[in-house]
Structure 1
Amino acid sequence: MSILNQLRAMTVVVADTGEVASVKRLKPVDCTTNPSLVLAALADPASEELIAREIEAGKAAGLSAEKMVATLTVATGAELTRLVPGRVSTEVDANLSFDTDASVARAREIIADYDRRGIAKDRILIKLASTWEGIRAAEILQGEGIDCNLTLLFSMAQAVACADAGAFLISPFVGRITDWYKKAEGVDSYLPDEDPGVKSVRRIYDYYKSNGIGTVVMGASFRNTDQIKALAGCDNLTISPKLLDALDAETGDLPRVLSPEAASGVAPVTMDEASFRWEMNADAMATEKLAEGIRNFDADHKKLIDLVAQR
């Protein structure tokens, strides 16, 4: 049996792509998207008919390029809901990451647009950056029955705050953490058990399972298959098509690494705003990677607007 099939027996496998052709081929349970992935989907020939249709409809309705990007993003997500049995994540604009009220309003617009397309909110996850303001927006949305995926998560402080807010799912990043530590420590690689990104997700998973927290832990941002195998048994893992293919081509035994039964019993901690901001300030990696991630998503969002404007 392939490593991928063994992984699927213990973990929900999510495709880290918005490309229709890849999703059809890989058949994941869920799909996760962000502006970078939607930008890649624009170059996907399988999406061309949908893109052209949405742009023409936007022109007819007199929408700005920015509004067309918003509807195009939902249209792409709607197409993906027809290909996967589970959820499709759709991201709130990165430039709203520090505005709770605006993030909530944008999330409601996204859900309303999906509803107009006949897609219920229980098929969608609203993606928000794990800033203090984004986490507060998730708390409000969860109270309205709108499930959220808190992304760009690099620290225990963020994970604890997300759990306290009742977030449906978190996406703790692996590869970006590893990238930062490789540069900071001047090393080329880590053994899987010593990988800082792997250790971060394991710690978060242990905290959640030790305290009966129902929030789904979905490891994200992988650089290689060893990182994925080192988190076998995590609730969910979102994996790029390239690494999914590599796992599918590999055989051998895949031992389960994470399970609720093996939780250490670590005690819960209190995380108010002051504690959150202090802990983030003390964690250079988490602060830098969160800011960088928001900037990069915003840059790709602006590229999307420019591409749609040209069309």
Structure 2
Amino acid sequence: MTTLAQLQAMTTIVADTGNLDAIERLKPIDATTNPSLITQVLSLPEFEPILKDSLNKHPHDIDKVIDDLTVFIGTEILKRIDGKVSTEVDARLSFDTKATVKKALEFIKAYEEQGICKDRVLIKIASTWQGIQAGRQLEKQGIHCNLTLLFGLHQAYACADAGITLISPFVGRILDWQKRHENRETIPVTEDKGVLSVKAIYQYFKQHDYRTQIMGASFRNTDEILALAGCDLLTISPDLIDKLAKMDVAVTRQLSPNDGSDLPKQILTKDAFDEQLQNDAMSTELLTNGIDGFIKAREALADRLRSLAH
């Protein structure tokens, strides 16, 4: 068996792409998208008629055009997979619980109009306190959420308490931060803080029987991925999936529900969450930068659409 096949036997592999050809080829169970990926897909000539049609329908509302295109790409992805697609709420709403809930309900309605039930959609929200509370409200309505840009244990604690379906700790971005701040070009996987954080979250969730699943994300190399073999899900870029498919390294389960943890259960208030975030320089920096990056990616897509409209 290839390394990828061995990994798939113990972990659900998600394709971190909006590229329809890649999804068709890789046949992952689930897929996830973001504005950057959607921009790449919609740059292809075959989608120009779709772009123009949406622009004609909403000539003065680029946000509505982006929402339409997001659902279009999500729908096309769902035709090619058996599982779920993650659909990201506008990152500008990351600190507005009410607006995030409203946007999520609009997405679910738009998918239902395409004949897609809500169980096949994960609403993707940044792991701010306000975003987590939006997720709490949506989960109570039977709408599944993927809380992203997660870098600290405090974010994981709050998501578990809120009954979130899925969280996405960003392994590679934590490693990037660690390299910069420790002034090291290479860090062995045994010291990789991104890998270690996912292991700690996994053990905590299993110890306290939380139903929230963990999906490791943002990988920089195959070593990080294999160090998390056994995690509930891993979302991996097509190039790293291809590398794993060509490898024949034996895969050993690294995460097991029986591993155990000695972390006491944490139920955080907003003040406690804010305090832990403020005391965690890495999480504060990466969460802020991540939201800014998602906003800039959306603005780049909006600029492209405005240029087409003229």
1:5 equivalent to 2:2? Answer no
Give yes or no for contact 2:14–2:235 (8 Å, CA) kept in 1: yes
Report the equivalent of 1:158.
155
The C-alpha deviation readout for 1:80-130, integer Å capped at 9, x for no partner, is 000110000000000000000000000011111111111110110000000
- In the alignment, the residues of structure 1 paired with residue 157 and residue 11 of structure 2 have an alpha-carbon distance, to the nearest angstrom, of 22
- In the alignment, the residues of structure 1 paired with residue 147 and residue 186 of structure 2 have an alpha-carbon distance, to the nearest angstrom, of 28
Give yes or no for contact 1:211–1:266 (8 Å, CA) kept in 2: no
- In the alignment, the residues of structure 2 paired with residue 120 and residue 90 of structure 1 have an alpha-carbon distance, to the nearest angstrom, of 14
What amino acid is the match of 2:243? A
1:240 shift after superposition: 0.3
Secondary structure of 1:260 counterpart: coil
1:274 equivalent to 2:271? Answer yes
1:41 shift after superposition: 1.6
1:63 shift after superposition: 5.3
Secondary structure of 1:261 counterpart: coil
Report the equivalent of 2:130.
133
Secondary structure of 1:288 counterpart: helix
Question: Root-mean-square deviation (CA), in Å?
Answer: 1.2
What amino acid is the match of 1:80? I
1:24 equivalent to 2:24? Answer yes
1:292 equivalent to 2:289? Answer yes
1:44 shift after superposition: 4.0
Report the equivalent of 2:104.
107
**Aligned counterpart in structure 2 of residue 244 of structure 1, from 241, 245, 265:** 241
Report the equivalent of 2:39.
39
The C-alpha deviation readout for 1:129-173, integer Å capped at 9, x for no partner, is 000000000000001110000000000000000001000000011
What amino acid is the match of 1:182? K
Report the equivalent of 1:53.
50
**Aligned counterpart in structure 1 of residue 218 of structure 2, from 218, 221, 225:** 221
- In the alignment, the residues of structure 2 paired with residue 38 and residue 65 of structure 1 have an alpha-carbon distance, to the nearest angstrom, of 15
1:187 equivalent to 2:171? Answer no
- In the alignment, the residues of structure 2 paired with residue 253 and residue 44 of structure 1 have an alpha-carbon distance, to the nearest angstrom, of 38
The C-alpha deviation readout for 1:36-76, integer Å capped at 9, x for no partner, is 1111222345xx24x52253144145452221111001100
Q: TM-score when scaled to structure 1?
A: 0.96
Consecutive unaligned residues of structure 1, counting only runs of 5 or more, are: none
Consecutive unaligned residues of structure 2, counting only runs of 5 or more, are: none
Moved more, 58-67 or 35-44: 58-67
1:121 equivalent to 2:118? Answer yes
What amino acid is the match of 2:256? S
- In the alignment, the residues of structure 2 paired with residue 28 and residue 117 of structure 1 have an alpha-carbon distance, to the nearest angstrom, of 22
- Counting matched residue pairs gives 308
- In the alignment, the residues of structure 2 paired with residue 176 and residue 89 of structure 1 have an alpha-carbon distance, to the nearest angstrom, of 20
Q: TM-score when scaled to structure 2?
A: 0.97
- In the alignment, the residues of structure 1 paired with residue 183 and residue 268 of structure 2 have an alpha-carbon distance, to the nearest angstrom, of 33
